[in-house]
Amino acid sequence: MPIPARVLHIFSLSSLIIFAGTTFAADREQPRLVERLQAHAGTQDNQRQLISSDQQRSYQLLDASRHSSAPLIIVLHGGGGNGDSMIQRWRAKAMREGLIIAAPNGAGRTARMGTWNAGGCCGEAMSSHHEDVAFVADVVADVKRIAAVDPSRIYVTGMSNGGMLTHRVAIALSDQLAGAAVVAGAMFGDEPSPRSPVPILIMHGMADSIVAFEGGMSPKRLVARAQSKPFKPVQYSVEFWRRANGCGSAPAVVINDDVTVESNTSCRDNSSVFFYRLRSADHTWPGKTSMNTPALEQRPYDAIDATDVIWDFFKSNHRQTDVNKRNQR
């Protein structure tokens, strides 16, 4: 009598876990290997398609939620990449914390060379006038329809061109988001104020050779050709959000070797602004990694881990929803 495929799958996974536990017991990495194998058995990881602004778009969904509702993090890749690079950065964190991660794919000449229309940059998405803010909103709506999303814990983060779009998404979806984080991104000076304050973390290397800390056209000719406007200095973005969030007092400043953190926590509706200034970091997502980094990302930097820092920031911020307000009455 043939063995059902599901039984074979469970038997194979169990055997692999046992093999890992017996063969590599002396290896320090072994417990983490078993944890990853066990976690993977309960997750959903798939590519989804949807129609947004009359165009077929796609995103990668990693659902590692373990409870009735879970945080949703929208992760936006840098120019010349795709959603998979951000899934790799967030997979381990999602497994440990029970997160839902949605990684939209930008528009480009190939599926692995996506860009975002962030107003003044970049490339195919900008020149073709893709409505990427609307696309991200549609992704949020789609994930909420098929997964157990906690509406008070929806966040967005992005790297480089994805960070530029993160600013715009945070402004447009300010009434839905519990927080935003921008790594090596920029603004262009034409952004409107958000309707509601949004807790935000901005992280940027002072030695960034792609999106320069002081702004202007990119020093990288390939990227400069993809711009229609110069980048604003990083400080412009920080001050924009301090004003938008009603942060009245001067920031607290903590310096730890290469990393300076400016924090404004006395802001309207507890919408804090954190600014991580990384003295020697180039254009990169900080943290140790074994993945093949996208072409435009420069020298690795591991004085801090961006994924850890951002998740710590996100999990301390929840948005008041109508349900929350009713329950408090």
- Mean residue pLDDT across the chain: 86
Query: Which pTM value belongs to this model?
Result: 0.85
- Note the CATH architecture for domain 45-328: 3-Layer(aba) Sandwich (3.40)
Domain boundaries, the chain: 1-41, 45-328
Using one digit for the tens of pLDDT, what is the confidence trace for 154-206? Answer: 999 999 999 999 999 999 999 999 999 999 999 999 999 999 999 999 999 99
Residue 13 predicted with pLDDT over 60: no
Find how far residue 154's CA is from the centre of its chain. 11
- Per DSSP bridges, beta strands 100-104 and 70-76 are parallel
In angstroms, what CA-CA distances link 81 with 18, 60, 161, 162? 36, 13, 10, 10
Q: How far is CA 274 from the centre of its chain?
A: 16
| Chain centroid, CA 20 distance in Å | 32
HEC profile of 169-181: HHHHCCCCCCEEE
Task: Return d(Cα 209, Cα 111) in angstroms, integer.
Answer: 26
- Gap between the Cα atoms of 177 and 201, Å rounded: 13
Sheet of 44-52: strand order equals: 44-52, 55-63, 100-104, 70-76, 149-159, 179-183, 200-205, 273-278, 259-264, 252-256
* pLDDT over 90 (residue 30): no
- Mean pLDDT across 263-268: 97
For 87-121, the pLDDT digits (tens) are 999 999 999 999 999 999 999 887 778 999 999 99
Distance CA 155, CA 319 (A): 10
Lowest mean pLDDT among 41-50, 151-160, 246-255: 41-50
Q: How confident is the model at residue 296 (pLDDT cuts 50, 70, 90)?
A: confident
The predicted pLDDT at position 202 comes to 99
